[in-house]
Structure 1
Amino acid sequence: MRVTSMLIATGVLLSLAPAATAEPVVRIHDIQGTTRVSPLDGQQVTGVPGVVTGIRAQGSVRGFWFQDAEPDGDPRTSEGLFVFTGQQTPAVKVGDVVAVDGKVTEYYPIASGETPETTPNQSVTELVGATWQVTGTGEVPPAEVVGPDAVPTEYAPLDGNIDKRDLEPQSYALDYYESRESMLLRVDDARVVGPTDAYRALWITSKPDQNANSRGGTTYPGYADPNAGRLKVESLADSPFPAANVGDRLNGTTEGPLDYSRFGGYVLEATRLGEHQPGGLQPESTRRQREDELAVATYNVENLAAGNDQSKFDRLAKGVVEHLASPDVVALEEVQDNNGPIDDGVVAADKTLQQFTDAIAAAGGPRYEWRLIDPQNNADGGQPGGNIRVAFLFNPARVSFVDRPGGDATTPVHPVAQGNGVGLTASPGRIDPANEAWKDSRKPLAGEFSFRGRTVVVVANHFNSKGGDQPLHGRLQPPERVAELQREKQAQAVRGFVDEARAIDGQAQVVVLGDLNDYGFSPAVQHLTEGGALAPLAEALPPLERYSYVYEGNSQQLDHILATPPLKADYDVVHINAEFADQTSDHDPQIARFTLR
């Protein structure tokens, strides 16, 4: 065996075994690597150095973030890492200098029915089964400032599964955020673009000029522009969280480590929140219709059932009377049966609608009547047992409903010649209810109305949910819009009904409206409008003002009113819910005032 001689102070020459070569220290940037998946995934690491920057001390996903104070200078490699401690609160403090042992793993937040292999969500690189030593106290690394020009406008590389693709943080927003995963980030004087939700979270933007609408939000203008400046904010502090509306501000500094969740993607886990400054946003009110105008509105009332608190009915009623100015016809979506989510075979919704119309009358509105067709039990999707459906309210003092027998849950309705115009074989009636397009989804409801001697056919819709679509923030790019295929088929079925009516009477007055669960630029809505068969009334508004819903900080258009070309209308989206922390429904209603021929 080779030996090394060493002369010590006594002058005695000793023969010593060679000192063991020290293993190189694995640092956080070595673990994070230059892709989304760690090059050390599954390996045990020891003595990883860093400074504690944040602690999650609540919930079932506890742990702490730490960050290397000596970065490697590679913009692709994050210098932060999360240490998962399960339901155990870690015994560390912000500012502790630590050396951590643990197993490197990629944690994929998954939804029900998914696995880490099948989920479209990105992963979080973290250490599990960890132990650590606190070796001292040090300065917390300064948070990187995310200013208006920091995050690239281009959202993601469109390369399929981007897990193992080398990060390009100067080119793509998702790569930028990933290259800062678990690092301290900071946004100053941030504008709120998504209101506070029930889970103590809100959305801000680091790009205040990006597709900004007139009420302080960020409008989603198309699939190619998901608004890269949006960022979710939660708080690590066990203290009051601001009830913020769109257009409010977090003045000063909002900072914390960057995490990732399946609920919205990248999220700033704030150790410090800016001071909440209300922006003064107020609910809108529309004008009252003139005597010769037929006012038709659509309103998603979000799982309204007779068992709800009376306050919900009263607030929705106020919306109809004070903010919508008591329309002549209201198409309602998400009307549940009389006992809501109790799954006992009840499908009738007369008690729900009676309670709602009573509340409207008590609020000073008209005594509305209603028409609907009860669905088959548990056949139309939505909350299990709730049997949501669409329904019509109408003011009999202003408009007549033309009742024609024969409509039920399974019988299709068709346009038919009536005098010199078009009517319905049944009123109310459901459009093509046996079509596979409506599997586990709400069937459209057609109704024949008479206003000042003129006939108009109104079709109330609630297309299937976007819940099956892959997220904007996921690892699969571009995201597959799985549920969109069903909405396209639904749009084709409704378009077929409109074409039938126009074949009978080229001047047929048909209004198609409701929660289409898709955007004005989507293929589903394009099926309805192509060739000019239906005019999208929202096109009367500037593009950035076309929205009725706020999701993950994007103001977007899910609710629509469309009409056959002879109809002239004054159109308005009435913003009373979606932008506010205190909302009665997650949708804003909209209204069109028609002058019939």
Structure 2
Amino acid sequence: MRGLGFALALLALTGGAAGARECPPLATAPLAEVKTQAPGQRVTVEGVVTGVFLGREALGGFYLQQAGAPEPAAVFVFAPRLGARERRGIEPGVRVRLAAETAEHRGRFQLSAPARVEVCGRPGLPDPVPLELPADADRLARLVDVKVRFDQPLTVTGNYLLARYGSLDLAAGGRLFRPTNAPDGDPAANARRRIVLDDGSYRAQPEPIPYLDAYGSRRSGAVIEGLTGILAHAFEEYRVHPIRAVHFDDANPRPAAPPPVPGRVRAAAFNVENYFLSLGQRGARHAQELERQRAKLLAAAHGLEADLLALVEVENRAEALTDLVRQLNRGAEEAHWRAVPVPQPLGTDAIQVALVYRADRLEVVGAPRVDTDPIHERPPVAAVFRARAGGAPFLAVAVHFKSKTGCPARGDIDRGQGCWNQRRTAQGEALAGFVRRAAHEAAVEDVLVLGDLNAYGAEDPLRVLDEAGLVDLVAARLPPERRYTYVFRGEAGYLDHVLASAGMAERVRGVAIWHINADEPPHLAFDGRRDWYAPDPYRSSDHDPVLVGFD
């Protein structure tokens, strides 16, 4: 926003070039031809200034544009050493003539070291070129550096780099979903619908962070109308540096509470994003961060009003789970929350899954079970519960499959479903067998599987579990636009699942995803910007919790 604010301020200026004279006739090079020349050539060009981003905190230059057929041509002039007097004349809408050197910077053409900068009148700003997504790749390439306008609504589909680089991912036609979130996903179509909203700067850590709302957020799902700016191509993506103020329609406001979920029993799957007592490991770096993490997680957990929580990413030591249960009980007259007891440490990973429950509402029947198949670094945990208010017992299983990160050089590489898909599929097969055995041994028919499978809805692990007779409740009960718990590189999808046996699915009264985390930018997390931190449920984790209600 630093560069954007400077450019918008310049739009209001009237001095410097108000009385600019016409320059004497001189042969100048067409910009379209200039941009084909090799670096190091000295050229003289003339054009209208369309965007000004001068200053060390901005792009350090300005854009020139010439009329042309069928479309205009434009170029970025890198001018960090432009003198103060010449800077005063560089305003949007003035015509400028200058001599400069052709250059490339990180693969981007530009003019550098401008000299003899003359202001040659004020013809006014050219009309923006209408641009609509999805756009032909050749047309986008031709319009690089040109002033454009999007007359279609654009939806914020990602905000991961907002605090780091001042940019938002936008998409035409609504937010983007992971291609494997549903059977009909199309990666190429996603790429054609996408554009980056930048801030007139490529510097890291912008101050202030641009585009924030009153809460210090800018949620995915917000909508922009009439975006106008300079089209650029940088860091392998097309992006727009706005030259007018950007206005957002808060089309996806923060949900104060989960959507209504009927049923006498409520269970939730919740990835708590590395709840560690060991400071400086995966979770909090110091005691103050741990307190901030606790406050956010408790706000989310209590807001779910669940009777049973399947927790993911708890540090794999008994003290961490004990502490988390203690925090859940803090302030209550009676300590109702309890953890299902299992051997500690559990498995070979640094994190574990856990089942915690309200003992005043549920009782554990028999001994808990752990899937000891070595395919699992984080073994699934199962227990049979019965509601104290009545109803048939059910088997609940907490799971966390292998992540898509840490890809190998060969073998189980990414073939469209992320790396380690073969491992996750094998984990799905092992889980299906474990569920059958556990249900048979406990003499129960109704099964509920909850957790982070690190697999989207149309990927192989879900296919395996579907073939084993487990119903994907998110796919069965929620519309496609609500099926997400996580956002990665601007694409949403659900990694967190609630699956049910056929009989259990008939008992289900409702399913919901509480979108408190995936839509929020990461600088609001417990380890993010302290000036925007709040002890509320928003960005308490990087995953949204999934809630199911049943009788």
Q: State TM-score, norm by structure 2.
A: 0.68
User: Match for 2:516 among 576, 592, 597?
Assistant: 576
The answer to which structure, 1 or 2, has the higher relative contact order (CA under 8 A, 6+ apart) is 2
Structure 2 match to 1:592? 548
Q: Quick one: structure 1 residues 376 and 460, their matched pair in 2 at CA, closer, same or farther if it must change by over 3 Å?
A: closer
1:255 equivalent in alignment to 2:249: no
**8 Å contact kept, 1:144–1:186:** yes
SS state of the match for residue 419, structure 2?
Answer: helix
Structure 2 match to 1:136? 119
1:289 Cα offset (Å): 6.1
User: Match for 1:543 among 474, 480, 484?
Assistant: 480
More helix by share: 2
SS state of the match for residue 566, structure 1?
Answer: helix
Structure 2 match to 1:236? 200
Letter in 2 for 1:572: A
Letter in 2 for 1:320: A
Q: How does 1:172-571 map to 2 (within 5 A)?
A: 172=136, 174-187=137-150, 190=153, 192-194=155-157, 197-199=162-164, 200-205=166-171, 207=172, 210=173, 212=174, 217=175, 219=177, 222-224=185-187, 225-226=189-190, 228-236=192-200, 241-243=211-213, 244-250=218-224, 253-262=226-235, 265-279=237-251, 281-283=253-255, 284-287=257-260, 290-291=263-264, 293=265, 295-306=266-277, 307=287, 308=289, 310-322=291-303, 324-325=304-305, 327-335=306-314, 337=315, 348=317, 350-351=319-320, 354-355=323-324, 357-359=326-328, 361-362=330-331, 367-370=336-339, 380=349, 387-401=350-364, 427-429=369-371, 431-432=373-374, 435=375, 443-452=378-387, 454-465=393-404, 484-502=418-436, 509-529=446-466, 531-539=467-475, 540-551=477-488, 553-568=490-505, 569=508, 570-571=510-511
Q: Distance in 2 between matches of 1:179 and 1:189?
A: 20
Q: Distance in 2 between matches of 1:456 and 1:492?
A: 22
User: Cα deviations across residues 28-71 of structure 1 (Å, max 9, x unaligned)?
Assistant: 43365xxxxxx656564533544443344577883334233133
**8 Å contact kept, 1:44–1:102:** yes
User: Cα deviations across residues 478-505 of structure 1 (Å, max 9, x unaligned)?
Assistant: x965771303421322322313543786
Q: Distance in 1 between matches of 2:313 and 2:76?
A: 41
**8 Å contact kept, 1:317–1:360:** no
Q: Distance in 1 between matches of 2:322 and 2:73?
A: 57
SS state of the match for residue 567, structure 1?
Answer: helix
1:286 Cα offset (Å): 4.1
1:456 Cα offset (Å): 0.9
**8 Å contact kept, 1:83–1:126:** no
User: Cα deviations across residues 466-525 of structure 1 (Å, max 9, x unaligned)?
Assistant: 6869xxxxxxxxx96577130342132232231354378677544333233332123443
Q: Quick one: structure 1 residues 500 and 305, their matched pair in 2 at CA, closer, same or farther if it must change by over 3 Å?
A: closer
User: Cα deviations across residues 219-260 of structure 1 (Å, max 9, x unaligned)?
Assistant: 555134427444332333977633233454446x43222234
Q: Structure 1 vs Structure 2: percent identity of aligned residues?
A: 20
1:461 Cα offset (Å): 1.0
Q: Quick one: structure 1 residues 56 and 463, their matched pair in 2 at CA, closer, same or farther if it must change by over 3 Å?
A: farther
Q: How does 1:64-103 map to 2 (within 5 A)?
A: 64-73=61-70, 79-83=73-77, 92=87, 93-95=90-92, 97-99=96-98, 101-103=100-102
Q: Distance in 2 between matches of 1:201 and 1:79?
A: 25
Q: Distance in 1 between matches of 2:268 and 2:73?
A: 52
Aligned-residue RMSD, C-alpha: 4.3
> 5+ unaligned residues in a row in structure 2: which ranges?
1-25, 202-206, 278-286, 525-537
Corresponding pairs, count: 457
**8 Å contact kept, 2:355–2:398:** no
**8 Å contact kept, 2:325–2:338:** no
User: Cα deviations across residues 415-445 of structure 1 (Å, max 9, x unaligned)?
Assistant: xxxxxxxxx7xx345542xx4xx7xxx6343
**8 Å contact kept, 1:491–1:528:** no
**8 Å contact kept, 1:358–1:367:** no
Letter in 2 for 1:125: R
SS state of the match for residue 235, structure 1?
Answer: coil
**8 Å contact kept, 2:275–2:320:** no
User: Cα deviations across residues 136-157 of structure 1 (Å, max 9, x unaligned)?
Assistant: 15544332233xxx223xxxxx
> 5+ unaligned residues in a row in structure 1: which ranges?
1-22, 33-38, 108-123, 153-168, 338-346, 381-386, 405-423, 470-478
Q: Quick one: structure 1 residues 270 and 389, their matched pair in 2 at CA, closer, same or farther if it must change by over 3 Å?
A: farther
Q: Quick one: structure 1 residues 556 and 457, their matched pair in 2 at CA, closer, same or farther if it must change by over 3 Å?
A: closer
Q: Distance in 2 between matches of 1:45 and 1:360?
A: 73
1:537 Cα offset (Å): 0.9
SS state of the match for residue 62, structure 1?
Answer: coil
